[in-house]
Structure 1
Amino acid sequence: MPTKSDKIELSEHELREITGYAAECARRALSIFEESLPADTRPRDAIDAADAFAGGGRRTGALRQSGWAAFRAAQEADSPAAVDAARAACHAAGAAFLHPLADAHQVKHILGAAAHAARAEELASEGPASEGRPVAAGTLEWARRHAPAAVTEVLGRLPAAPPGGGRVGEFIRDLDSALRS
């Protein structure tokens, strides 16, 4: 098993595929944020910037800043579902900055957008009947089925997802396990 200090191979092509995947996952929950704060474009901008990088654009400071802006949007959101939707967008932009280290924390960078999108959808669908759990399972299954080869290949070079992180951490571990099997 690799140790935290070990470097892993990480090609630019893999980084672009992982970032594109993260953007797709985050886009699934974007409407949840936009329903809550329709004038705030920061999460959409972060997803668009991630898409641009995935499509061949440069990995720039502006891309990193768009991720931080989505993070700030999450801090300002007025509903828990909107918070997680914005965090998914933040993770999409951040995926472009995955480090080539054999560190379990890097799994969060790969799967964080999917996990936060699932949590946003779960929270948005919760009501008296508590329908959120099946929605989250469906979102995670979608993320599993749509993961490009680069996601599973890079995950195979990393230790398993770390413990903790509440419900989102649980989603990351579930998805990580499903993608490795």
Structure 2
Amino acid sequence: MEKKYSLVFYSKTLVEPVKKLKDFLKSKINWYNSCNSEAHITICEFTIDESQLDSIKQKLFQISDTFTPFQVSLNHFDSYPNSGAFFISPNEDAVKNLKPIMQKIHQVLKSLKLKKSEDPHMSIGRRLTPENLKIASELFTTIDLNFLCSEIVLREFDPIAKQFFVIDAFPFGSNPKPELIQGSLF
């Protein structure tokens, strides 16, 4: 049976503070897309047959072992007005650490039809109307959240709850694999 999955950067320490932001926005504009979603930074989404899951997990375990944990600072709000997304952005250093990991995971899973996220961000609201986007940007002006990024988390979509839930985590092993270097025989 086919199921939908997402790979994310996730930290339990951010769930509650971000939920408070989302709940506050919800109290001002009512229900909106992603108001009930737990705090995360999306890497990609994909749909596969359950029978493929173990092989995907094996690839994720291998690639995660090569990454080294690092601090992520989320220090400003931003938006994508065209899509109505309002989100918390990581600082420049965090982006420099997150993007290569995202790209490597996209590369490792390139055989799948991925819905990729290229720009690391933590959504507060999606598909907001221009009016609600303006309200969000007026309500939220400063933010300072941090977490240790030390794993990739796999989530499965529950079609009844219409939410993703965590099913596995792949810890960073700090074991970088040496890059293959083309040598010369002469």
TM-score by shorter chain over 0.5: no
By relative contact order (CA 8 Å, sep 6+), the higher-ranking structure is: 2
TM-score w.r.t. structure 2 length? 0.27
Q: Higher helix share goes to which structure?
A: 1
Q: Higher strand share goes to which structure?
A: 2
